[in-house]
């Protein structure tokens, strides 16, 4: 199979001609932009916000027997919480559990959205010195331990 040069690219634009001679277009490397580099390890569940904090989408399941990470997907991190969903007990237990799993202070975590919902967004302050990959690794480790 014959490889084309830049000269051929400018002169041969007819795809039928390429197919007829069984030629291939040269592979070009995609250049990464700064935003792609910054979000390299980002999934839908864990990502870096505009101000540099890490946002974690949580799919909470309160009323469980013990605290446990059930799964990580594009929709969010599934966490069973050993507290009833009343009077904010589950939210307090969620923040306490996440601080233990991530090895950071509770003051570095904040519950931004979903105070009365099962779908929550928890923010890890950039002062905690964690990356998205660190968070995902710690979640995977805890998920495998149980």
**Which of 27-36, 49-58, 63-72 has the least mean pLDDT?**
27-36
pLDDT higher than 90, residue 90: yes
Tokens of residue 79, six digits:
């966490």
The phi, psi pair for 8, rounded to 5°, reads -65, -35
Structural element, H or E, at residue 8: helix 6-11
Give the model confidence (pLDDT) of 2-50 as tens digits. 565 555 554 545 566 666 666 665 565 555 444 444 444 456 899 998 8
Predicted confidence (pLDDT) per residue in 106-144, tens digit: 999 999 999 999 999 999 999 999 999 999 999 998 888
Rounded to an integer, what distance in angstroms lies between the CA atom of residue 146 and that of residue 117? Answer: 26
Q: What does the pLDDT read at residue 35?
A: 42
Q: Give residues with Cβ within 8 angstroms of 74, minimum separation 6.
A: 43, 44, 45
Worst-scoring range by mean pLDDT, 24-28, 29-33, 57-61, 84-88? Answer: 29-33
Q: What is the reported pLDDT for 132?
A: 92
66 and 142 Cβ atoms separated by less than 8 Å = no
> Is 102's pLDDT higher than 50?
yes
């Amino acid at each position: 199979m014959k490889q084309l040069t830049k000269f051929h690219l400018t002169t041969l634009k007819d795809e039928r001609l390429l197919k007829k001679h069984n030629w291939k277009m040269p592979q070009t490397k995609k250049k990464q932009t700064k935003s792609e580099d910054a979000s390299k390890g980002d999934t839908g569940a864990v990502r870096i916000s505009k101000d540099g904090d890490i946002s974690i989408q949580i799919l909470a399941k309160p009323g469980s027997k013990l605290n446990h990470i059930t799964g990580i997907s594009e929709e969010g991190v599934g966490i069973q919480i050993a507290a009833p969903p009343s009077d904010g007990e589950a939210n307090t237990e969620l923040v306490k559990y996440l601080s233990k799993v991530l090895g950071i202070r509770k003051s570095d975590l904040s519950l931004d959205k979903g105070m009365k919902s099962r779908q929550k967004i928890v923010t890890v302050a950039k002062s905690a010195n964690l990356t998205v990959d660190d968070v995902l690794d710690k979640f995977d480790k805890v998920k495998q331990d149980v």
